[in-house]
Structure 1
């Protein structure tokens, strides 16, 4: 049996790490119980997932985040039986959530390109979180999604491309444009 440290050294460097402790590992029994029809376990699982799903949806779907969270939870509810490995719950939920958040943001079509907005926030102001939110609001949902996956979730381009269901080149291009748009909007 390989030593845990040796196993960690042989993991490819660009493979995103799944959490091995805490609520995600504890979710394994809930997933199995929910898959076997236990409604209480499914409710507990959805309660466990809601804060994480909300954290992902908020910067992507913005004002429509509650709708995106609801859609993601419905997708998890409907598809929990298709999850083969409960340990993969974290990545599986992330993929569903980001796709739903982008879909909801597109559907509402409330996006304003960064280049056409005046009066952007001052970077030195005391409301930094509000300023960041304001700049993100002016970006497309695709750009917000790729920023969330790279900057908040720490995923590489390959993992982000799988979640977004686009090519690696598309992710790189969107990331480049998103970062440039963010910088331009921030420094104006």
Structure 2
């Protein structure tokens, strides 16, 4: 916990988006926890199932943070796409024309990508 608090204090000046403060704190805390576990772990603490899990634990924090910053229409189409709906089903669910759903989905993906990779947009 102390390592996380120190990292938050040291990195506070690098926070660019004040609205994303809580997501940023979670991200820093998870990153520091992972670093601490890696530093202290001898490899026997995790079960084989957990050891095979390849995804980055920070992704879940970042995805929620990025989605919260998107507009409601963009968040809606991305969420429906994640639930497996195709464009026609999204149009029916949202009571929108198919072309509107397609353009919204395109813009939502672009906005999500710009927020996910902020250095690429700069």
TM-score, normalised relative to structure 1: 0.34
Give the match for residue 116 of structure 2.
186
3-state SS of the aligned residue for 1:127? Answer: helix
Instruction: Determine helix, strand or coil for the equivalent of 1:166.
Output: coil
Which of 94, 98, 115 in structure 2 is aligned with 1:168? 98
TM-superposition CA deviations, 1:48-107 (whole Å, max 9, x none):
xxxxxxxxxxxxxxxxxxxxxxxxxxxxxxxxxxxxxxxxxxxxxxxxxxxxxxxxxxxx
CA offset at residue 144 of structure 1? 0.8
Q: Which runs of 5+ in 2 are unaligned?
A: 1-15, 32-56
Q: How do 1:94-113 residues align onto structure 2 when only pairs under 5 Å count?
A: none
1:101-151 alpha-carbon deviations (Å, 9 max, x no partner): xxxxxxxxxxxxxxxxx34768xx64221111000000011111101111x
1:168 offset after TM fit, Å? 0.3
Cα-Cα RMSD: 2.2
The alpha-carbon deviation at position 165 of structure 1 amounts to 0.5
Q: How many residues align?
A: 69
1:67-86 matches, cutoff 5 A: none
Unaligned runs of 5+ in 1: 1-117
Distance 1:148 1:154 in 2: 9
